[in-house]
Chains A and B, each alone.
Chain A
């Protein structure tokens, strides 16, 4: 195991975050605050409690998840895409490091950022609405698992993308809509039966639902199913990345 290489890449990626603190941290916090003002304070005031949870608090897990998904993907995809784009990735390819080490370093750094961001959003949210977390251990567990899984997904996108548009495409076209329709702002129990069934095909529903359970002890779907879905997606991403490095897909001619 080339631990020094992992440390070098990890440190480099974290330095990059420090340099771009504005777009990495401040921007998502501001946008979350805006969601709270609009949905929590303005609209939420007219909404009843959902499953016994006040609406302002109800949207917190969903909002955290939404940021976690988009930020994990964009952090990880950019982290690997950029050195490929400017040509400095030759060094990583020529270095005595294995795929596992490269992925650990890049995905670890991206996931670290996302988890930190999630916690910052949680702290921001606590300023707007009273909150308590029933299962803090599980909450952290879901946070880390989701951050790692979607950082892996982002990493794969960063290898797949051969231009900046494609880099944006997946998060914008797929992830944001799925996150929006994943029950961030509502319980899928509120939907008519047909749409409820459709929603069950949206993987984000399981993420948000499980995460919400760790806060309030209630959820739309079984927590075990939530975990299984997330783990399944993680394994799929790992398999794709493994294949990409084995064949040199878009990494080596």
Chain B
């Protein structure tokens, strides 16, 4: 794995004395999509803001493709595009002007064809001559994305890109992110929508109260921590749970008909077949079976709850 972004011992204590980030280490691989998950106030925006130069770190350093973010800020920042969480746009400028401005700000020569492509990709082309204040909130967010893409960053930070965004735009955004990844762009995004991380990310980091709780490949995370829950509905009501099933950890629902069992596929030897055999041995008749894989959301809630 070739590292494009390396964060070492990075911490932040704000002026008021509040420590938003405890010393944190993280390496981001070239070309990956990294999702940072965490509840409100976890420190996601703080971390991104330090990397992008909006907030001073208290300790530690960041290196972007080998360039220190402070001493080599020009080369480091030239590679980074940022779409911040807060909606902040010009008002009286046109969409075209503000996106072109961003490209100039990052020292790139004008490239109208590229900007046209970006605006078309983001469905902003027919709005290019509109003043930004005449756009809707979702469109303004697209403008901010267009600004970040205008200078062809190699690393893109999306701080809650889909907050307050409709389903269509969210789909568009996912498509865009995949296209960028295919073009070799490294993407770091924060989100509260766990489905989003589950859908898109290669790796997931969970941050809580300024501490990185876990960083793992998404697939491995789902495999290791993901559990299955099976619900067996019986044909007839059951007065009490047979001992054989109780030993397994099966629970009986209040209606006396639903048996639920949560198991971790990797660890349990017999798994489903064993359960069904036990049920059959008790002479029970099965009416329906439903299995559900626990989502990243369950994992996340467990992690954050567990820490409290």
Contacts and interface: CB of A to CB of B under 8 A. Distances in A.
B56 A86 contact: no
Interface size class of A (residues with CB under 8 A): 20 to 34
Nearest to B46: A253
A50 to B, nearest CB: 45
B52 interface: yes
A90 B56 CA distance: 13
Nearest to A9: B105
Nearest to A87: B88
Nearest to A1: B107
Interface stretch (A91-99, A173-181, A218-226, A228-236): A91-99
Interface residues of B, number: 35
A154 to B, nearest CB: 21
Given A88-B90, A253-B14, A5 B54 contact: no
Given A90-B84, A94-B53, A253-B55, A2 B90 contact: no
A239 interface: no
Given A88-B88, A253-B56, A94 B80 contact: yes
Interface stretch (B36-44, B69-77, B241-249, B274-282): B69-77
Nearest to B51: A94
B84 to A, nearest CB: 5
B108 interface: yes
A248 B80 contact: no
A4 interface: yes
Given A2-B107, A4-B104, A93 B54 contact: yes
A96 B78 contact: yes
B203 interface: no
B88 A90 contact: yes
User: Most B CB atoms within 10 A — which of A2, A8, A15, A248?
Assistant: A8
B108 A4 contact: yes
A244 B203 CA distance: 39
Interface in B94-117: 97, 101-109
Interface of B: 14-15, 49, 52-56, 73-78, 80, 82, 84, 86, 88-93, 97, 101-109, 147
Closest 9 A/B residue pairs (Cβ): A8-B104, A87-B88, A96-B77, A96-B74, A96-B78, A94-B52, A2-B107, A95-B105, A253-B55
Given A11-B101, A95-B106, A252-B54, 9 more contacts: A4-B109, A9-B105, A11-B104, A87-B84, A87-B86, A91-B82, A95-B105, A98-B74, A252-B53
Interface of A: 2-5, 7-9, 11-12, 15-16, 19, 86-88, 90-98, 248, 252-253
